Structure 1
């Protein structure tokens, strides 16, 4: 592609880089972007978001924030996807407090977090055993105009079951269904495993 005349667009390069990143070849993507820039091809915000994602997977979150600074310096308009990518990187590193601070900063600067943003932070909280904090965040979302989905509830239900709080998990299931949110296979698997761990083989999820 680098030797084609005329050169492909940055969109074409970014699509290829994103495909390589999905194959978990993060170091390769970083090298390819550097080589692309050496040919005078300027990355766009989507290319740089792919780069941030690769740094996060390599547990090099500081480089990810450096790329964010580059995005701002170039005058690109930030979007929720870029910031959520950094959020995921912080969660992968175990820096949940930093992730929460980033969400708050996003909100203060007018970037409206989406379902992926909140799903990432809820998942991160549950993974480090902060299920109670995840539930408080879920309650905060319920009070706002944010539309909850089955992924958010299932993540918390799974964490409650792993904490051996099966009654609380069943109550949350009942609450979820009362709001018209239908459980999926992930929800049921978590609850079945939780019930089996307690020896409640014949317990019914619905009466």
Structure 2
């Protein structure tokens, strides 16, 4: 039984339910004067608070507008006690009313200035308040730096939010460390935080860790929400268990839950990659039935998958149906379809799409050009291929390894290895590095034309550069073994094939 399948049984026995007992995060604000430990009358405390509020407004304006605001504060207010914790909290409250990244950074700068200039010892309430404000503003790296420098222990609810922010910001390893510490302290992380940790594992492609953490989370709480289901289906697809992901989707839909557009698209992409178009079609229809219109990207995945699995006819049918239903294929979709049609030998239809794409204002990219150039060369239309290659360069696409390989493989496949070799020599002149594809194409091309000595020479060069010969290259060398050749060339060829 796969790791995914064991979850399905649990899901049926324990139907997903919403957790209404979500942990409430305590709002950290300035204590009311009426609850203050001060022995002064309430009216005096209120007056002090009002004075602090006005002063906080003034200080905030100075920090925002003055380049050297520190000197201004010291010179303009020499007798004011900036290090009073009550003032600092009032300052935070004022600045964080408009919860933006810039405001919270003003608060952080002011805090650092207090610590470096005055004998300021921040109290836990102020530290938690500033740390929470940094999390609210998604200033995760600043929050991490603040925590590292102050070395204070935030409230559990803030740590929970910190874990979520770390994972969402891509700092997954750090998030998992804090998540572990949080659990060791006896706090059960909230469901959204657990989901963020799991999603983070998927982002950094740590599937083993994903399943390990999911198992622990499942033992601690039976709550399974839609976000968790989305994570599970993605993990199953990433692990090559697309069919198990589809089974989970079916069970979720039977419970009346809709996991969202991204889940359908992910499963469609997964089935396209393994060539299971029956299931892909089922999911596509289910997606539409649940009022999710497939995006152009989803259709792009379908067309690309069909073309890769030699189903260009079906891909072309989907492409035309797409346009009939009002979708506007982009350059990527056009290029994918043009490539598929060229591979199938439907060059006329490919050229028609080429001109249709340009009529709609979409410039061909380098890949589109290379597809058409290669198709011209395969048809023996060398002049047209060269003209198109020149057009590509004039349109700002410089010569690259990919574009040179297109010309080389095209010439070699058409029986013009010498012309391919001219392109190869030009690569070093213009500073473009050949790769394994370059050498393999040339070796195969020369062997195809029975020019064994040139083929062997390039094969040795390929090996000397640490590149790997392809199976087709060895097959091409094996094919010319019985040809008449000099003893030295025959010896070299036999040595290559014996080692292989």
TM interval, shorter chain, is 0.7 to 0.9
- 1:156 matches 2:372: yes
Correspondence for 1:35: 248
Secondary structure of the 1:110 match is: coil
- 1:173 matches 2:389: yes
Unaligned runs of 5+ residues in structure 2 are 1-213, 428-500
Q: Is the 8 A contact 2:373 2:406 kept in 1?
A: yes
Cα distance in 2 for residues equivalent to 1:19 and 1:168: 47
User: Between Structure 1 and Structure 2, how many residues are aligned?
Assistant: 202
Q: Is the 8 A contact 2:373 2:407 kept in 1?
A: yes
Q: Is the 8 A contact 2:236 2:244 kept in 1?
A: no
Q: How does 1:132-147 map to 2 (within 5 A)?
A: 132-147=348-363
Cα distance in 2 for residues equivalent to 1:59 and 1:133: 24
Cα distance in 2 for residues equivalent to 1:193 and 1:55: 31
Cα distance in 1 for residues equivalent to 2:235 and 2:348: 37
Q: Is the 8 A contact 2:237 2:245 kept in 1?
A: no
Q: How does 1:20-169 map to 2 (within 5 A)?
A: 21=237, 25=240, 28-35=241-248, 37-38=250-251, 40=255, 42-169=258-385
Correspondence for 1:7: 224
Following TM superposition, by how much is the alpha carbon of 1:18 offset from its aligned partner in structure 2, in angstroms? 4.3
Secondary structure of the 2:363 match is: coil
Q: Is the 8 A contact 1:49 1:82 kept in 2?
A: yes
Range with greater deviation from structure 2 (171-180 or 94-103): 94-103
Q: Is the 8 A contact 1:125 1:131 kept in 2?
A: yes
* Cα distance change on mapping 1:183 and 1:100 into 2, 3 Å: farther
Unaligned runs of 5+ residues in structure 1 are none
- 1:202 matches 2:422: yes
The structure having more radius of gyration, on CA atoms, is 2
Q: Is the 8 A contact 1:161 1:190 kept in 2?
A: no
Following TM superposition, by how much is the alpha carbon of 1:20 offset from its aligned partner in structure 2, in angstroms? 5.4
Cα distance in 1 for residues equivalent to 2:324 and 2:249: 35
Cα distance in 2 for residues equivalent to 1:102 and 1:133: 15
| TM-score normalised by structure 1 residue count | 0.79
Range with greater deviation from structure 2 (116-125 or 173-182): 173-182
